[in-house]
Amino acid sequence: MANGKPTLHHLEDSQSQLTLWLLEELGIEYDLVIHKRVDNRSPPALKDVHPLGKSPTLVTPAGRVLAERSAIALWLVGSYDEGARFRIPASSGAGAGGKEDDAVREDQLLSFGGATLAPMLMLKLIFGLLVRQAPALARPLIKGVRYALDRAFLDAELATLFAYLDAQLVIAPTDSSAEEEGKVGEGKDREWFMGTAEPTRVDFCLLWYVDWAMQWGWVDFDKYPRLKAFHARCTARPAWERALEKGGGYNLKFWK
């Protein structure tokens, strides 16, 4: 943009909250355009910014238009994190499960969130909304289908996925070679997924899935104490509080 600041197109009650949080953590100047939902969906005006019409969308000072949280976080950290507070070190030690905290593990965790965990959460959302919006006569049938799907597949799958994610917040002993990836052994809990002193792109992205499941009550996070503590740690940060205030709140159960 002409003023030399990035511009975030922020949709209320959306995953754009995570990008707003990162902008506040970086402590940079930026422009914020807040979009209101229309019938619970993104407004048509967002398609004037990017063909997908989704949020977050970030316009760089040079006029490049970026979509998708992970890509936006990569660009913001690469462009503005001068002190390297929010980057993984060039050379890292063993992480969860004795694995290296390197770019490969970073990409694996980001892919896990978007390609593996997100579709399961979307199914929970879709069937929940179908029950709410179904005609009265059809509602018992759809409710039965949802119950069967939850019992036969979704609840067990989500339990496996969140247990795996919870285990990624443990630094397992390097000599426990008998443990499989994702199993929790006698290890030390870590604050952030990449074992850093501050959150990195992985944390700014994975919090979305934890928030999504937590706000809808789909997962009992008492069973995943590391994830529960991770969520509390993120939302207690001053930058998160500032982002909430500037973004106008963050309620993921806005559907009627």
Residue 124: the pLDDT is 94
Residue 94: the pLDDT is 52
pLDDT in tens, 194-203: 999 999 999 9
What's the CA gap between 1 and 119, in Å, rounded?
A: 35
Q: How confident is the model at residue 137 (pLDDT cuts 50, 70, 90)?
A: confident
Q: Which domains does the chain have, with CATH numbers?
A: 7-80 (3.40.30.10), 96-237 (1.20.1050.10)
Q: What residues does 7 pair with on adjacent strands?
A: 31, 59
Residue 173: the pLDDT is 56
pLDDT in tens, 144-184: 888 888 888 999 999 999 999 999 999 865 444 434 554 54
Summary mean pLDDT of the chain: 90
Residue 99: the pLDDT is 57
pLDDT(130) > 60: yes
Which residue's entry shows tokens 């807040």?
A: 34
Residue 87's nearest CA partner among 170, 235, 194, 178 is 194
pLDDT in tens, 218-238: 999 999 999 999 999 999 999
User: pLDDT over 70 for what percent of the chain?
Assistant: 89
Return the structure tokens found at 133.
């919006």
SS (H, E, C) the chain: CCCCCCEEEEECCCCHHHHHHHHHHHCCCCEEEEECCECCECCHHHHHCCCCCCCCEEECCCCCEEECHHHHHHHHHHHHCCCCCCCCCCCCCECHHHCECCHHHHHHHHHHHHHHHHHHHHHHHHHHHHHHHCCCCCHHHHHHHHHHHHHHHHHHHHHHHHHHHHHCCEECCCCCCCCCCCCCCCCEECCCCCCCCCCCHHHHHHHHHHHHHHHHCCCCHHHCHHHHHHHHHHHCCHHHHHHHHHHCCCCCCCCC
Residue 176: the pLDDT is 43
Residues near 215 by beta carbon (within 8 Å), at least 6 away in sequence: 251, 252, 253
Residue 249: the pLDDT is 80
pLDDT in tens, 83-122: 999 999 876 555 544 458 999 999 999 999 999 999 999 9
User: pLDDT over 90 for what percent of the chain?
Assistant: 72
pTM for the whole thing?
A: 0.88
Average the pLDDT over 133-141 and give the result: 85
Return the structure tokens found at 30.
């930026």
Residue 10's nearest CA partner among 28, 222, 43 is 43
Q: How confident is the model at residue 248 (pLDDT cuts 50, 70, 90)?
A: confident
